[in-house]
Structure 1
Amino acid sequence: MPLPHRPARSPRTGRPRPLARAATVLAAAAALLTPLATTGPASAEPRAATTADATVRVNTQAALGRLSDVARGVNAAIWDAHMNDPEVAALMKAADVGAMRYPGGSYADIYHWETHTAPGGYVAPGTGFDAFMGTVRATGAQPILIANYGSGTPEEAAGWVRYANVTKDYDAKYWEIGNEIYGNGHYGSGWEHDEHEDKSPREYARQVRAYAKAMKAVDPTIKIGAVLTTPGHWPDGVVGEGDAGDWNHTVLSQVTDVIDFVSVHWYAGGADTTAEAAMTRLTRLPGELREVRNQLDRYAGADSPRIGIALTEINTNTGGARLTARPNALFAADAFMTALENGVFTVDWWNTHNGPGQITTVDGETDYGDMGMLSSGSCTGDVCQPPPNTPFHPYYGMKMTSRLGSAGDMMVATASSAQDVSAHAVHRRDGRLSVLLINKNADAARTVDLDYAGFVPSAAAPQVTRYARGDTDITQVTDDGTSASRVTVPPYGMLTVTLTPRAGTGPAASDAAAPGTPRLEAVTDTTARLSWEGAQGAARYLVQEREGAHTRLVGETTGTSVTLRNLPAGSTHTVNVLAADASGRLSAPSTPLTFTTGTPPDAPCAVTYHRDTSWGNGFVATVTVRNLSDSPITGWTVDWDWPTDRQSVSSGWNATFHQTGRHVRVTAPENAGPLAPDGGSTTSFGFVGSNDGPNPEPTVFRLNGTICSGG
């Protein structure tokens, strides 16, 4: 008999969200589990067009990495009475979900697995660990488990590993240490339960080492994850009282040798809570993820590629608006693929079920303000959701990404000429190419011309699946006029187009296998030495640099290493290696490597950049300049370029500042004396800066046009 309805604190907002009592799913629920519907055209007819609205380029020789077996994931919470309903496993299996995170956001830091209790929170019946694992196995997924940091111990976590992997043989691979621990009050805002007297990042790092030691003593094969803040999101850049640095830099400086991945969360946020605004903010995610990797590179060095990035929570916002409506389906599909293409190995939606919030009308439909993928069947006032486990639109956004490819398939670069058309592509292991097109325009269809590099489509009609107005599931369509070169996407709709290669073309026609992932053996200010594992059937290797959806040849060799020369100092490069067989036919590309060159060690000047303080969207920095040449310098300018277009100088002192685009020029004040030679004196200036998103440091400084070394 189900328990009476009880309110439960939402781990995302702290506000009460009702959890539904157990309810019977509609008899029609079986229809919801249909993997692929075959209904007719969407209600909004695509318009004919003689001129395309956009061009999308797909380059199968520009690899972005392979889809992992845990690429698509969802969160599951112990306060969710429907967490383990049989319909959940069936729906998630139909969407090729490979990861399920437990026991649910902030509840992880009050949850004791052995007693299945969460003091201060509500635990729904039937949500214990073994019941959860039943759903995981029925889905064909893997668990991502959050060890209790806030009120637990390393010994308790080790006991959970023993029960999961020794007693029950669940083979639970991924274990996070706590959830959003930076929200424990150390920076002034405290939503995360943490009973440690010392709540600093330094103590968290110390405890991560203790947890990792205890847990890996039980099962050395598990992977341990540490919690980081997302660059550009609070409290990134904030330095707490008594700390030497912010959260990420403090934690990573102490744990990279004992962790296997880091966990970050991403919510679009912002004053504008519309899904349209969220999709715009999604353009910031690649830069933010790149900064996570930069931080790993800084502290893990050559070991950095071993440490993965998990995006274990994502949604549009926590404000409760436009969460179940159609635009959030577009956001979900775009967000999953954007994150995966930018180095994340798993993306886990918040949440499976969550509960209704603000009720609005969006695109002619009721939006329940619910951050779940599936309905919990609850009500806000007299407005009730559909029956439990009815999919909301974001579920279909995630499901659409499963039509692109599965574990082991290669994501490849795309570029769209239109802001309201997003594109993603996957080159499958069987040679087929799938392209996902997302039309974010609510009012008009978009006709898209497709352009290919490294792929020649056959004359066969492409397979097309669609999710648009009028569709109740991912829908297979035929005879809609789609060809390999032109596609029309309905308004607020998505299409996945799957093409077969022309016979005798593509990697399948080559006798050479794909090379191994390149490794960075050494790097200077102008050179980079790369090596890779050889490929069977290879006569030579081509090293190609990716620039958007274009590639250019930068190296060629018959061996398995190459030195790239004449690279700009402080520049970032992403390369793939392809093998050519004796006939010159190319293999599939390797997974990519991204690296950054340094600055010259024997430069005639040195510049030190120091961020003195930061508060999330602003900072104070000091720049110190030394003249290392043998002649004094009278009158000087210092130039640099910001790594992102959302960094700027607001005001400064001891110099004159001017910024154009990303470029900053600092000029000596009129009364400045000469810079003494041989490092005999230094000059410093400071400024207040602003940043909207991540705040990476400039990589190259020039004194009077000459590149300087780091201080």
Structure 2
Amino acid sequence: MPRTPLRAATALLLALTTLNAPTAPAVAADDTPIAVTVNARAGLATVPETGIATNHAIWDTNLGTDETADRLKDAGVKLLRYPGGSYSDIYHWADHTAPGGYVAPNTDFDTFMRGVRRTGAQAMVTANYGTGTAEEAAAWVRYANVTKRYGVKYWEIGNENYGNGHYGTAWEADDHADKSPAEYARHVVAYADAMKAVDPKIKIGAVLTTSANWPDGLVGAGDAGTWNKVVLSAAGQKIDFVIVHWYPGALDRAAHVPDMIQLTREQIAKYAGPGSERIGIAMTEFNTGSSSAGTTTQPGALAAADAYATLLANGVFAVNWWNVHNGIGPVTQVAGHTDYGDFGLLSSATCTSDGSVCEPALNTPFAPYYALQMTSLFARPGDQFIRAAAGRSDVVAHAARRPNGDVAVLLINTSSSTAHPVTLGYEGFRPAAGAPSVRTHTNGATSIATSATGTATSQTLPPLSMTTIVVRPATAQPALPGTPGQPGAANVTDTTAAISWPAASAGARPIVKYEVHRQLGAVTEQLGETAGTSFTARNLKPGTRYTVNVIARDSAGGHSWASPPLTFTTGTPAASSCTVRLTNQNDWGSGYVGGIDITNNGAAINGWTLTFGWPRPWQSLGSGWSGGWTQKGQDVKVVNEAGNGSLPTGASTTIGFVGNYSGPNVLPAVFKLNGTVCTTL
């Protein structure tokens, strides 16, 4: 959701000030090194061409200027979205109008595309669903890709259309009498058909809700399910990607990303029909969303770099910052610097309403600009993210391997007062001796500094800093095996999974075996090895999510890079002396009413205890009924009441609870009745 698009009058104020040069804080280093592990055997997603992205808005007078485009190019931006958030659903491209909103001069589509080309980026266009038609959208495709030959590949259908009042809150324009997800899905199909009839090569995106963000989980009156279920079920065969937005409102939410993206993928697989694996995920609006913690200062930048790296490592193909220029907001002091409460990458040179505070000169980069720039320097298109982790929570680590054999490591020190020394250890990679290439951005700095300091295994991180080191491999080796192809899983049970993969190409020596490694954070465990291209993993834990990679080894022990990751979740026993069915009966986005049906399939029971665990630390028990409910840590125990303790063979009982959550709500999957793992339906 755009946060200040209607502040048009403010956006026109150009009060220029000079950005004060920052002074380095006087801090003492903590002498205890923090261990950082980088594991080349634990491969994640490949860096996409379009990963570093941002939003343009037609109320921004500077949308099409060369200076703006050059700034974005220097930041490594590779995708630009137009015409800007909620304006998308009131904007009519042909006459460049947005009834009810402000359209700045020199912001028409051709001007936008000129800036896209100067930036060296691709375009993403949001077609007007709220007040437009499929015919209007198809005409835009014709103009863009047939008449002008712009080759615009990515086309969204609407923006945050669940905010049309259907769930009780309305900010998104929607002239349709029926504002349900079913009506939106019906139009997505019509738009896709009309637009692809003009250019079959384009990619169509549909709006989804973001896990654990309103109105995710809600079911509207008369709907057959949540927004995502209805839209994917009806339009899944017509779309090529889905759109999610994320304004977490805090700086420490990157840990939510893996579940957020995995749950979205599971919904796509469940509802979108055959071939749904083709459907990508784009985060077309993202901002830390925390003006109090810093939107233009270094804490916000560090959170942005962490989130960008985490989202891209989990396979999101575009992360669009909201936005390029936004305008001044609540002014605070954060980490020793003025924070302008501006959600833009670049200064709009606007002032507070009383004129007491003005932003720096137009197009001065704010701190998050350097987060995008650092991320683009760290993880380049074609690189593969690999697992990395630090031994303390105030240091964050990400890593990527490059096709030439180099490994890049991004280190983020979130401490405001302590310079942390770190020691880096590598698995599946041996670094060369000597000083690596080092890039650093510190609190208040107006550029990223380049140096050759420290070593591949030892660095010191300044307070509130982002540091990227690029490490060469120790020695050149004869051509190593190629990377195995994307693994797949079949016949997944509670304890086994059949894993197979396309063969790797041999290098200088023949391939003699493949190893299957499971990711456990930045550590891996080898599940087994085989001379062929399939392996059955055994002794797995029920109801557990596994991420694995395959590595090829040659006759001299040389090994390939890790395959793309495979993620699968084991089930529960196909047959057990008990069965449990968990239903989410009513969800409100931060909690839900859960119902648990327990069936005894074995010998008669007189007295029972049901146990399960919350999968994530942000989940908790609010209350429970029809049993004695207790929680210790993440473990929940329910003991029968006097009236429901007897369960003859085939008998059932129902209990219920209120579950609270403040992040993606991964439902409990494994339940034990009197110590026995039940079949979960």
State the TM-score bracket (shorter-chain normalisation): over 0.9
Q: Is the 8 A contact 1:17 1:355 kept in 2?
A: no
Q: Secondary structure at the match of 1:329?
A: helix
- Count of residues paired in the alignment: 674
**Shift, 1:385, TM fit:** 1.7
- Whichever residue aligns with residue 467 of structure 2, its letter is L
Tell me the CA shift for residue 301 of structure 1: 7.0
Larger displacement relative to structure 2 (536-545 or 389-398): 536-545
Asked if residue 484 in structure 1 is aligned to residue 464 in structure 2, the reply is: no
Query: Which of 207, 211, 232 in structure 2 is aligned with 1:252?
Result: 232
1:75 aligns with 2:47: no
Question: Would you say 1:291 and 2:263 are equivalent positions?
Answer: yes
Q: Deviations over 1:456-485 (max 9, x none)?
A: 11113111111114632111124x4x1111
What is the CA RMSD across the aligned residues, in angstroms? 2.4
Q: Distance in 2 between matches of 1:697 and 1:647?
A: 9
Q: Relative to 1, partners in 2 of residues 1:19 and 1:333: Cα closer, same or farther, differing over 3 Å?
A: same
More divergent stretch after superposition (13-22 vs 384-393): 13-22
TM-aligned CA distance change 1:298 to 1:637, over 3 Å: farther
Q: Structure 1 residue 580 and structure 2 residue 560: aligned?
A: no
Residue in structure 2 matching 1:221, options 201, 209, 212: 201
2:485 counterpart of 1:516: yes
Q: Secondary structure at the match of 1:257?
A: helix
Question: Comparing 417-426 with 690-699, which one deviates more in the overlay?
Answer: 690-699
CA contact (8 A) 1:646 1:692 kept: yes
SS at match of 2:378: coil
For residue 450 of structure 1, report the CA deviation from its aligned partner.
0.9
Say whether residues 1:440 and 2:414 are aligned partners: yes
Query: Against the structure 1 CA distance between its residues 257 and 661, is the aligned structure 2 distance closer, same or farther, given a 3 Å change threshold?
Result: farther
Structure 2 distance, partners of 1:642, 1:279, is 24
Partner of 1:43 in structure 2? 24
Per-residue deviation, 1:99: 0.8
CA contact (8 A) 1:72 1:97 kept: yes
**522, 534, 541: which is aligned to 2:503?**
534
Q: Is the 8 A contact 2:492 2:571 kept in 1?
A: yes
Determine the C-alpha separation between the residues in 1 that align with 2:282 and 2:619: 26
The residue type paired with residue 531 of structure 1 is S
Cα distance, 1:17 vs structure 2: 5.5
Whether contact under 8 Å (2:292, 2:332) holds in the other structure is no
Matched, 1:16 2:30: no
> What secondary structure sits across from 1:697 in the alignment?
coil
Matched-pair contact (CA < 8 Å) for 1:465–1:496: yes
Residue among 331, 334, 356 paired with 1:359: 331
Q: Which residue of the other structure, out of 567, 573, 579, is the alignment partner of 1:594?
A: 567
- Aligned pairs for 1:650-689 (under 5 A) are 650-672=622-644, 674-677=646-649, 679=650, 681-689=651-659
For each residue in 1:242-261, what CA deviation from the matched residue of structure 2 results, as whole angstroms up to 9, or x when unmatched? 22322223322333222222
Residue correspondence of structure 1 range 51-130 to structure 2 within 5 A: 51-52=32-33, 54-130=34-110
1:648 aligned partner, one-letter code: S
Q: Structure 2 matches for 1:262-301, cutoff 5 A?
A: 262-269=242-249, 278-300=250-272
Contact map agreement 1:460 1:500 (CA 8 A) in 2: no
Matched, 1:471 2:452: no
Shift of 1:185: 0.7
How far, CA to CA, are the matches of 2:314 and 2:336 in structure 1?
Answer: 34
2:612 and 2:31 map into 1 onto residues whose CA distance is 46
Task: Please show how residues 34-433 of structure 1 align to structure 2 within 5 Å.
Answer: 43-44=24-25, 50-52=31-33, 54-269=34-249, 278-300=250-272, 303-317=275-289, 319=291, 322-380=294-352, 381-382=354-355, 383-433=357-407
Q: What's the CA shift for 1:283? A: 2.7
In the alignment, is the contact (CA less than 8 A) between 1:17 and 1:357 conserved in 2?
no
| TM-score (ref. length: structure 1) | 0.90
Deviation at 1:154, TM superposition (A): 1.7
Return the offset for 1:655.
Answer: 1.4
Whether contact under 8 Å (2:551, 2:560) holds in the other structure is yes
- Superposition deviation, residue 120 in structure 1: 0.6
Change (3 A) 1:470 1:211: closer
Structure 2 unaligned regions, length at least 5: none
1:696 to 645, 660, 666: 666
* 1:550-561 correspondence to structure 2 within 5 Å: 550-561=523-534
Q: Secondary structure at the match of 2:605?
A: coil
Contact residue 39 and residue 427 of structure 2 kept, 8 A:
yes
1:705 and 2:679 aligned:
no
- Describe the SS at the equivalent of 1:279: coil
Letter in 2 for 1:525: D
SS at 2:123 equivalent: strand
**Counterparts of 1:263 and 1:327 in 2: how far apart (Å)?**
27
The answer to whether the 8 A contact 2:13-2:350 is kept is no
Tell me the secondary structure at the aligned position of residue 431 of structure 2. Answer: coil
Q: Which amino acid aligns with 1:51?
A: T
CA distance in structure 2 between the aligned counterparts of 1:533 and 1:42, rounded to whole angstroms: 54
Q: What's the offset of the Cα at 1:303?
A: 3.7
Determine if contact 2:31/2:421 at 8 Å carries over to the other structure: no
Partner of 2:517 in structure 1?
544
Corresponding residue for residue 610 of structure 1:
583
Query: Which amino acid in structure 2 is aligned with residue 256 of structure 1?
Result: G
Matches within 5 A, 1:485-504: 485-504=457-476
Distance apart, 1:118 and its partner CA = 0.8
Structure 1 contact 12–318 (Cα < 8 Å) conserved: no
Residues 590 and 661 in structure 2, CA contact (< 8 A), matched pair in contact too: yes
For the residue of structure 2 that corresponds to 1:379, the secondary structure is: coil
Measured in 2, the distance between the counterparts of 1:553 and 1:338 equals 24
Q: CA deviation at 1:543?
A: 1.2
- In 2, distance between residues paired with 1:334 and 1:218? 39
- For the residues of structure 1 that align with 2:194 and 2:616, how far apart are their CA atoms? 41
Alpha-carbon offset, residue 217 of structure 1: 2.2
CA distance in 1, matches of 2:92, 2:292: 29
CA distance in 1 between counterparts of 2:198 and 2:190 reads 13
List gaps (5 residues or longer) in structure 1: 1-9, 30-38, 270-277
Cα–Cα, structure 1 residues 641 and 76, in superposed 2: closer, same or farther, change >3 Å?
Answer: same
8 Å contact 2:4–2:326 — kept in the other structure? no
**Contact between 1:405 and 1:434, CA under 8 Å: does it hold in 2?**
yes
**% identity of equivalent residues:** 50
- Maintained 8 Å contact 1:61/1:454: yes
Shift of 1:703: 2.3
| Cα distance in 1 between the residues matched to 2:670 and 2:459 | 43
Decide which moves more: 308-317 or 359-368.
Answer: 359-368
CA deviation string 1:56-86 (max 9, x = no partner): 1111111111100001000000111001110
- What SS does the aligned partner of 1:64 have? strand
Change (3 A) 1:48 1:701: closer
